[in-house]
Amino acid sequence: MRTDAASRMKIVTSLLACAAAGLSAVLLYQSLTHDALPGCGGGSGCGEVLSSRWSSFFGVPVSLFAVGIYLLMLLAVIARSPRAAEKPQHLETFVVALSALTAIAAAGWFIAVQALVIKALCKYCMATHALGVTASVLCLLMVYRSMRFKSVVSVMVCAAALVGVMIAGQVFGPKPKTAGPVVQYVDDLPTPTSSPGPADAVLTPDEPVDTPEPGKVPEPDKVAAETPDAPSETPKNPTAPVDTPQLDVSQTVPFYGGRLNIDPSELPIAGNLDAQVLMVCLFDYTCQHCRTTRKMLERTSRKHGDGLGILFLPAPLDGKCNRMIKRTQYQHRHACMLAKMSLAVWRADPKKWVAFDKALYTDTRFHTPGGARKTAVELIGEQALDSALEDPWADAQLARDVNTYQTTAKAAGKGALPMLITRRGVMSGTPDHPSEVDRFIKRSKPAEPNKP
């Protein structure tokens, strides 16, 4: 009977370890491809956790180490013979105990990081931890009687050392290359020899600018990328010339030291155009880094009040409307549609746009054509939405916004979204803390005149 119970425990433990290894492999795939995981909708915290600095160790996804630990546990459990209990120094027994204690300690660390530091929970991660801890407890129950005191101490010291090295590396080691923004100020750059003209002028096809994935730095002056052929809710090439009224250059506002000129009169804005600091936010609703920054800007906008105005320009990471994109990643497949619909809602009713915009950057459940349209219809009505979508202004403005992104990426040599632009500088990438945005705004304020 005892042998049957031990066999059943071995089978259950093996299945749990196999499941934990499988989920860890899914997380590893996400880390390498950046594809969205099924079921990670708004409020799930998956994006915040998986895009944080704590998801890697010296540039290597921590999920890779998890796969190794659980596979090691699985192999050791399978290889451990029933007679191992009679051999206290049996290698398989030591490996089973070591992998179990390491998995438990690592799970405790990452759960604490999610709850206390990131303040978001990834359900895939939590499911992996639950499976792994359960398998680990069964492993310890399986081997504790066959281990001497010295062996127990050795296992505990080894497990503590392994997890301690990982924690120290994450806390004190270098941040991932994609962590933190890249900031440039015009004061630190040479004066441009010529004016680029209004940013709202559409780029011609012979002016290619490449773009990185979110959080990566581009290599400017690459050959323009081919865009995938896929059905789209927006025109195949909104960046192509469209029938738009000629802009009055006298109405444009210079940004980035005059390297960029934008007419802000009809653009979505939080705050007012007469603010001391006027800032442009280039973003994509389907970009997790952008959504994190948008939430951060809520706090920034409240803090600075009337002294800050933020223009929100969607720059979709979708090849259907942004020819800088070589290959549209799965999570960005509806980015052009969302951007156009947001602009249409703004055109129809700027006050209702605030609610629509917040719904899109706080909850990915609205990132489907049906979800976005339903939300828009509830806010402004179906007739008003259809009229705004048929208005050529939305396509024209989307083309101008994409062109603004292209022009800024080319001028700055940096194109990671989100991108914040003021008259005096550019911040490209995700700020680690609101204080970084505050410093950027402070330096972007106009210089005070010298007092007599």
Alpha-carbon separation of residue 205 from 237, 395, 450 (angstroms): 11, 18, 46
Burial label, 143 (beta-carbon count in 10 A; 0-12, 13-18, 19+): buried
* Amino acid 238: pLDDT: 37
* Amino acid 247: pLDDT: 43
- Confidence category of residue 449, pLDDT binned at 50, 70, 90: low
pLDDT at 4 over 90: no
Cβ of 400: how many Cβ atoms within 10 Å?
Answer: 24
- Confidence category of residue 416, pLDDT binned at 50, 70, 90: confident
Q: Strands, E, within 250-392: which ranges?
A: 253-255, 260-262, 269-270, 277-283, 308-314
Q: Average pLDDT, stretch 200-222?
A: 35
What token pair was written down for 322? 């942004």
- DSSP codes, 97-147: HHHHHHHHHHHHHHHHIIIIII----HHHHHHHHHHHHHHHHHHHHHGGG-
Compute the half-sphere exposure of residue 204: CA atoms within 13 Å on the CB side of its CA.
1
pLDDT at 271 over 70: yes
Residues 6+ apart with CB under 8 A from 13: 77, 135, 138, 139, 142
Q: Average pLDDT, stretch 251-263?
A: 87
- Confidence category of residue 440, pLDDT binned at 50, 70, 90: very high
Residue pLDDT, tens place only, 225-246: 333 333 333 334 433 333 334 4
Q: Average pLDDT, stretch 306-323?
A: 94
Q: Average pLDDT, stretch 52-62?
A: 88
Query: Which of 2-16, 179-193, 216-230, 376-390 is predicted with the least confidence, judged by mean pLDDT?
Result: 216-230
Q: Average pLDDT, stretch 14-39?
A: 86
More confident residue, 430 or 211: 430
Q: Average pLDDT, stretch 169-179?
A: 73
182-444 CATH: 3.40.30.10
pLDDT at 149 over 50: yes
What token pair was written down for 103? 């998995």
The domain ranges of the chain are: 2-172, 182-444
For the chain, give the percent of residues with pLDDT over 90: 47
* Amino acid 177: pLDDT: 55
- Distance in angstroms (rounded) separating the CA atoms of residues 334 and 232: 8
More confident residue, 3 or 388: 388
Residues 6+ apart with CB under 8 A from 203: 209, 239, 403, 406, 407
* Amino acid 441: pLDDT: 93
- Distance in angstroms (rounded) separating the CA atoms of residues 15 and 25: 15
* Amino acid 448: pLDDT: 62
Pairing of strands 260-262, 277-283: unpaired
More confident residue, 245 or 433: 433
Task: Say if 2-172 and 182-444 have the same CATH topology.
Answer: no
Residue pLDDT, tens place only, 29-41: 888 876 667 766 4
What token pair was written down for 187? 């004061």
pLDDT at 431 over 90: no
* Amino acid 251: pLDDT: 75
| CB contact burial 157-196 (16+ within 10 A = b; e otherwise) | eebeebbeebbeebeeeeebebebbebbbbeeeeeeeeeb
Query: Which of 177-181, 219-223, 385-389 is predicted with the least confidence, judged by mean pLDDT?
Result: 219-223
Contact assessment for residue 270 and residue 309, using Cβ atoms and an 8 Å cutoff: yes
Q: Average pLDDT, stretch 420-426?
A: 93
Domain 2-172 coded CATH 3.20.20.70: no
Alpha-carbon separation of residue 238 from 225, 336, 340, 376 (angstroms): 16, 9, 10, 21
Identity of the amino acid at 431 = P
Element (H or E) spanning 155, and its range?
A: helix 149-172
- Distance in angstroms (rounded) separating the CA atoms of residues 403 and 243: 15
Identity of the amino acid at 196 = P
Can you give the pTM of this predicted structure? 0.60
pLDDT at 95 over 60: yes
For the chain, give the percent of residues with pLDDT over 70: 78
More confident residue, 381 or 248: 381
Q: Average pLDDT, stretch 3-22?
A: 89
Residue pLDDT, tens place only, 327-347: 888 788 999 999 999 999 999
More confident residue, 178 or 154: 154
Instruction: Look up tokens 């931890």; give the residue.
Output: 129
pLDDT at 223 over 50: no
* Amino acid 21: pLDDT: 95
